[in-house]
Amino acid sequence: MNALSDTLRELMDRRDLTGAKLAKDIGISSVSVSNILTGKSRPRQVTLSRMMKRLCENPADEQALLAAYESLGDAKMSTTPVVDDEENAATEEERVRRFLEMKAAAVSFRRDVAMALDKLRLNYRQDVARGPVITDLLIEHKGKRIALECRANVKRDLEKSLLSARIIRDELKCDRVFIVVHESDLSLRAACAKEKNIGALELGQLAEGKFLEAG
């Protein structure tokens, strides 16, 4: 048993669902559901997505289920097989397409940030790492180390962006870390205001270069 098993059982109880009924609804075998509920295997992401649609009634339920899934970490366990039907295939293709779309947006935005730095004629390095900790861009200017984390869609995971910025600040010994976004984001600004040496930076502000003089 694990956190995912416990969370799934709680959600199933709320909906008065048996393992067999859930298996039928999401297109996998009863044995596969049983293995997930007993902690013997983990669901594939397409299976997890279908579980969320069937079991979660609100964002809080979705967040709880995602957190439980992520808590499995790198634990060694098999993944459940997916029934080869058209609906599962369509769901998986939709998930992959969303991933590719987000990846393309992230790469494009990072290029825009690099171009803005080039126009400022700043020396910077990309993908600066220390062990497993890596930052998108690192500027060394007048004795200061300034890391830039490019976020094409910071709303998708604001807390993760903040946590990454803290780790980069501490592990890469940065004087400042800026989370760079397309346009002003009030939630991001409010969150960064509570942090030490972490700031929010719009692409237009970056192009002006004034961030270099931030305290």
pLDDT at 33 over 80: yes
What residue type is assigned to position 182 of the chain?
H
Alpha carbons 69 and 5: distance in angstroms, whole number: 9
pLDDT in tens, 4-15: 889 999 999 999
Contact 11/56 with Cβ under 8 angstroms? yes
The model's pTM: 0.58
In which band, very low, low, confident or very high, does the pLDDT at 64 lie, cut at 50, 70 and 90?
confident
Helices 45-55 and 3-14, interaxial angle, to 10°?
Answer: 30
Q: What percent of the chain has pLDDT over 90?
A: 40
Domains along the sequence of the chain with CATH = 3-83 (1.10.260.40), 105-213 (3.40.1350.10)
Q: Could you identify the residue written with the tokens 């060694």?
A: 76
Instruction: Output the pLDDT for position 158.
Output: 86
What is the token pair recorded at 24?
């039928």
Look over the chain and give the mean of its residue pLDDT values, rounded to a whole number: 86
pLDDT for res 91: 64
CA distance linking residue 56 with residue 184, whole number of Å: 32
Q: Evaluate if residue 215 carries a pLDDT over 60.
A: no
Region 182-193 average pLDDT: 89
Q: What beta strand segments (E) does 60-132 contain?
A: 78-79, 124-130
For residues 22 and 97, what is the distance between their CA atoms, to the nearest angstrom? 26
Give me the pLDDT at residue 207, please: 87
Q: What's residue 46's pLDDT? A: 82
CB 137, CB 147: distance < 8 Å: yes
pLDDT tens-digit series, residues 159-183: 889 999 999 999 999 999 999 998 8
State percent of the chain over pLDDT 70: 89
pLDDT in tens, 77-124: 555 554 445 556 666 677 778 878 888 988 999 999 999 999 999 999
42: which 2 tokens?
């983990």
Residue with tokens 């080869």: 84
CA dihedral 129, 183, 66, 79 (to 10 degrees): -60
User: Mapping DSSP to helix (H, G, I), strand (E, B) and coil, where does residue 209 land?
Assistant: coil
Could you tell me which of 96, 50, 155 has the C-alpha nearest to residue 8? 50
- Indicate if the alpha-carbon torsion angle 105, 108, 110, 112 is positive or negative: negative
- 54 versus 214: the higher-pLDDT residue is 54
φ, ψ for residue 148 (rounded to 5)?
-120, 125
pLDDT for residue 199 is more than 90: yes
Q: What is the pLDDT of residue 97?
A: 83
Q: What is the average pLDDT across 46-62?
A: 88
The pLDDT value given to residue 85:
53
pLDDT of residue 84: 46
Q: What is the largest CA-CA distance in the chain?
A: 65
